[in-house]
A = this chain, B = another copy of it.
């Protein structure tokens, strides 16, 4: 930074010129506060002047408070405010595009009531951290480090860590999915899987058929990508086949997005026979299916049912996106897409444009954990505990809320509808009494879910569940009686 070809004139003493030169550099903020100056000998050499001139300059600047010296360490720039001239202020609002505007507007983390310690919050469907097998995760970490050493810490491949990819493919095959002409890419959770798909395929205005209600994050992501969401109503047994066919018949639909197992928010598991019917209906109109398997691993009542992707044998029309995030440590952000080989090849390049690859360390840890054998034991325990919570909550809901309907058959949440009650109004009332939940409108693109709500159970104790549901029941009663 110090110019070696700096020219000094003959009108002023050199040391003063050096002082002004250093001051100029500091004023322009080219040198950080408390950063070290070159030693006098070095500086003299850099500037092509005598060392004595530099010593004098440093001493004077120190006297002025511009520099300070620490014995045996050197000379440093003082901390002080530097006057800047005209301030440069960029109006960033003008720089933001539609995507970012929508991403902010639809960001419910910013608009909904935040979690706080004194609330009983039924908002979350994150897994209960106490169920993570910490000792096994430690072992998995040490195993991957001892096997792979520094390789697991260096750049890897966009498609993923090979042992993990192979494990997941095998795991998926055991669910009845034919992976012969399919391939896998590891993503930063389910969310990035869907993002990569939308980024690669969507043109503004493309139509996607969605269950109504459906996963709120998927709605948000489709909207930021400019998707025109076509809602199809959900009945007690899942998507309405008649309405689905009507929408497909209209034409121009690019994808169907479905959550057949423990649907979010309703908790419905579509029956195997109905899955076949849904698949055949999409097939009839040649509209590929995005299958969201995020809750797949939690299936406890319905373990005989294969994913819709299993019906896609010898075909290439189902894009299966999943993760273990609802059962195992979601903080490590690992999910995957299994789809047509050529499509995955495209996704690989797109992934490389987004973040090169998913953390290899995390992939290594997950792989070792999955291989450890405790995985299957852990998952059984996790399912059992959530099932207990669900059954308990179900009893409480029936006793204290008496809703018009309760859908679904398990998982981390219960979805209910209450006739003549607007769930936003109910939420406002419950919030006053220290209880919050997800109002149904969050999961819908129209007003059809305004009298429904989702109760996330995973992170609450049985005590809290009972207490919270009692409060909701009481508020429902008050609203029905017109109490304010």
Contacts and interface: CB of A to CB of B under 8 A. Distances in A.
A275 B30 contact: yes
Given A154-B129, A316-B92, A343-B92, A31 B306 contact: yes
A103 interface: yes
Interface residues of A, number: 117
Q: How many copies of the chain does the oligomer comprise?
A: 2
A358 B346 contact: no
Interface stretch (A49-57, A142-150, A238-246, A398-406): A142-150
B32 A310 contact: yes
Interface in A113-149: 126-127, 129-130, 132, 134, 137-138, 141-142, 145, 149
A448 interface: no
Contact of A312 (B88, B106, B203, B310): B88
B38 A346 contact: no
A350 B100 contact: yes
A103 B195 CA distance: 15
B272 A315 contact: no
A150 B203 CA distance: 40
A402 B156 CA distance: 35
Interface in A148-194: 149-156, 158, 174-176, 187-189, 191-192
Given A90-B317, A92-B340, A95-B201, 18 more contacts: A1-B305, A32-B174, A34-B174, A38-B304, A87-B315, A88-B312, A89-B317, A92-B316, A95-B288, A107-B349, A129-B151, A134-B150, A187-B355, A188-B188, A188-B358, A189-B356, A195-B354, A332-B360
- Chain A to chain B: the 10 pairs with minimum beta-carbon distance, closest first: A32-B176, A129-B150, A1-B272, A153-B329, A188-B355, A100-B200, A30-B272, A88-B315, A331-B360, A192-B355
26 contacts: A1-B272, A30-B276, A30-B306, A31-B176, A88-B283, A88-B312, A88-B316, A90-B340, A92-B316, A92-B343, A100-B346, A100-B349, A129-B154, A132-B154, A134-B153, A138-B142, A141-B141, A153-B329, A155-B330, A195-B353, A221-B353, A331-B360, A331-B361, A333-B356, A361-B362, A361-B365
